Amino acid sequence: MMVKKVILALLLVICFVSVQAQTNDKDQKPLEKIADPDNLASEYFSQIMGVALSATSNLKLYQFVYDWIGTPYRLGGGTKKGIDCSGFAFELYNKVFSTLIGNNSRNIFSMVNPISKSELKEGDLVFFKIGSRSITHMGVYMGNNKFAHASTSKGVMISDLDEAYWRKYYYKGGRLLASLRD
């Protein structure tokens, strides 16, 4: 009985956050946070997505990623039927930060200030060179060394930058140029 009440409470919080995000979309400024005074949504996303969230976390970012988890990979895709890594970043930046970015990982990299891994913050972009001299993959940093991306094998998922595979191919982090966020 208690478990049902907790699940119901979490679902209500998620619905509230989702409705709040939809009603604020038109007037929202980039990087604006959604209020979560009891931290219920933060706790929920922390458990479900394996990312530790704080009261200052951007819940709209986490809601967006959560909604896309499991979406299959499709090169050139940009919908829930299939999406690639740059399409996922494009959709995320458009919906969460009301900012339009490029349509492929190399072109998006040209729109950022490169930053070190230690400087990464929620919403920053991470770039990889997998079997190539040029950037071939990207994702969106979620905090605590985790990033969301569209994997060719598992679709949209969250991975850890400390995993051997990602550590091997990591190229750089990047923060969108201030002129593009305004």
Closest C-alpha to 172, from 83, 90, 105, 94: 105
Locate the DSSP E strands across 14-162: 78-79, 82-83, 112-115, 125-128, 137-143, 146-151, 155-160
Active site residue 85: yes
Closest C-alpha to 181, from 70, 69, 97, 105: 97
Active site residue 137: yes
Among residues 17, 41, 85, 142, the one annotated as catalytic is 85
Cα 39 vs. chain centroid, distance in angstroms?
Answer: 19
Backbone CA torsion sign across 82, 86, 128, 67: negative
Among residues 149, 159, 171, 174, the one annotated as catalytic is 149
Closest C-alpha to 109, from 97, 126, 85, 92: 126
Active site residue 79: no
Residues assigned a catalytic role: 85, 137, 149
